[in-house]
Structure 1
């Protein structure tokens, strides 16, 4: 598997509240996590870092002899632990009150992708030249769009498009979307924060992922496109390409 990982503060924010990790597990699978923190006075950074740390420590060891259901349950358990830890910190530290974070966490082997998702960080799959969004944004604007109250164009420009309605650490319990899909050699998986998708159109992302450059160069190009478009938020990108030799 070819992998690449980038995070950038962007052009506007003073602090990078994104956290991301990409690690190979003992069983040969890969663990990838992107979290986009929210909250003032560095609280967003604490929320995202805590979430990534808890999920990584819970999932860093794995066995190849597990079912999809077992792997899905392990991600659900890890995200639940992260939610409990961030919520505890927010309730017991005045400077962290109200903090939270998005998260997308995935375990990938040569045949399957298993994801847990909360918030508006996204996962995309490039398959045979087509780019497919695997996750659904947990935002107020996406709910309006989903139920036909606003158009796609209105959703893109809505002043509340970044209002997240589901996040890690903002409540005692959190609902986690669980996604699993097969993938094939040459398929590519992108995990990213909204610092990329708010700045760069899906068509442009697809063109970069389909281009004839290395996976490291693709990660760099995505970051640069977001910066060139204004870099209004922190930008985090994880890319994984399924190769025949895993």
Structure 2
């Protein structure tokens, strides 16, 4: 893929640390698929670090750096498989780094990725971050965050209570299942679901997802322009005193082109093409008419004398 500096999707992002350390990290990476295929692509992700001291920050940043690098180097031919492989590789890297320093021992990170390729969504998650789809007035949670068991104590800022995290020594289970946009059982077949004009996606870490009810999230998304939506969610969380770090990314799909405007645009394109063809034909005619006459290389012809013999009169005897 080719990195792009021009955002192709409207979006907003906001992050706040509740304590003196913010162990949340996020990434927004814009691409086009190739020079031959300029289809837009956007990789977004949020991570939440786990570990003592500053180790959680280190793990969360390692996850972001590794996943964005590996996805950016791909050809986007199999997005869900690429996401899965990138997250597994990031987990191995975090585990390796955790063994190089005493203060990094046991560090890890949750991870949620949402990758847009054109109007199709691919997502992968490990841990308890949440992915929501807002379609019209309906809010649907798409992923399945791995939450602590009901009878388990509230998770601390270490690995307790989490069912899987990047940097764990146990095999990593990257969840690729998604709920359908209209609700229903989650399935791998929902990878690549087609988004509609004006749909909104929300990625948020557990600090926000655990603290706000879906109704509160839906109300805030519906009432806020996309460029303000992420900050509005954070402010709502701060207002009720949520205890964890808060991070939100809101992405919007561009609105549909009205039918009349689309027809006018098509008509303008047809007229432009017809005008271009007419101009090329006119230039060709002018070029042809401007060519000088071809000179006669043999020169002008001159009259040529032809010698003929006139027979003399003969005597014809009379009878």
Q: Given the two structures, how large is their TM-score scaled by the length of structure 1?
A: 0.85
Q: Report SS of the residue matched to 2:11.
A: strand
Give yes or no for contact 2:74–2:82 (8 Å, CA) kept in 1: no
Q: Report SS of the residue matched to 1:75.
A: helix
- Measured against aligned partners, the alpha-carbon deviations of 1:63-98 in whole angstroms (never above 9, x if no partner) come to 46x3xxx11111011101100100111123211111
Q: Which has the higher contact order (CA 8 A, sep 6+)?
A: 1
Match of 1:238 among 230, 243, 249: 249
Relative distance call for 1:186 and 1:225 in structure 2 (3 A) is same
Counterpart position of 2:26: 20
Q: Report SS of the residue matched to 2:146.
A: coil
Q: Report SS of the residue matched to 1:140.
A: coil
Structure 2: 5+ residue runs without aligned partners? 1-8, 34-39, 178-190, 258-319
Is 2:16 aligned against 1:5? no
Match of 1:104 among 112, 131, 143: 112
Match of 1:168 among 158, 166, 186: 166
Is 2:188 aligned against 1:194? no
- Measured against aligned partners, the alpha-carbon deviations of 1:153-182 in whole angstroms (never above 9, x if no partner) come to xxxxx7436721211102253110014232
Counterpart position of 2:265: none
State the Cα distance separating 1:128 from its structure 2 match.
2.4
Structure number with larger C-alpha Rg: 2
CA distance in 2, matches of 1:234, 1:56: 22
Give yes or no for contact 1:39–1:98 (8 Å, CA) kept in 2: yes
Counterpart position of 2:307: none
- Measured against aligned partners, the alpha-carbon deviations of 1:109-152 in whole angstroms (never above 9, x if no partner) come to 332110110000110111121111111121222xx4xxxxx7xx
Is 2:135 aligned against 1:127? yes
Relative distance call for 1:71 and 1:43 in structure 2 (3 A) is same
Relative distance call for 1:99 and 1:159 in structure 2 (3 A) is same
Structure 1: 5+ residue runs without aligned partners? 145-149, 151-157
Counterpart position of 2:300: none
Is 2:125 aligned against 1:117? yes
Give yes or no for contact 1:139–1:161 (8 Å, CA) kept in 2: no
Size of the aligned set, in residue pairs, is 225
Q: Given the two structures, how large is their TM-score scaled by the length of structure 2?
A: 0.67
Match of 1:44 among 41, 56, 64: 56
State the Cα distance separating 1:199 from its structure 2 match.
2.1
Counterpart position of 1:177: 175
- Counterparts in 2 of 1:131-150, with a 5 A limit? 131-141=139-149, 144=150
Taking only aligned residues, the RMSD between alpha carbons, in angstroms, comes to 1.9
CA distance in 1, matches of 2:44, 2:172: 20
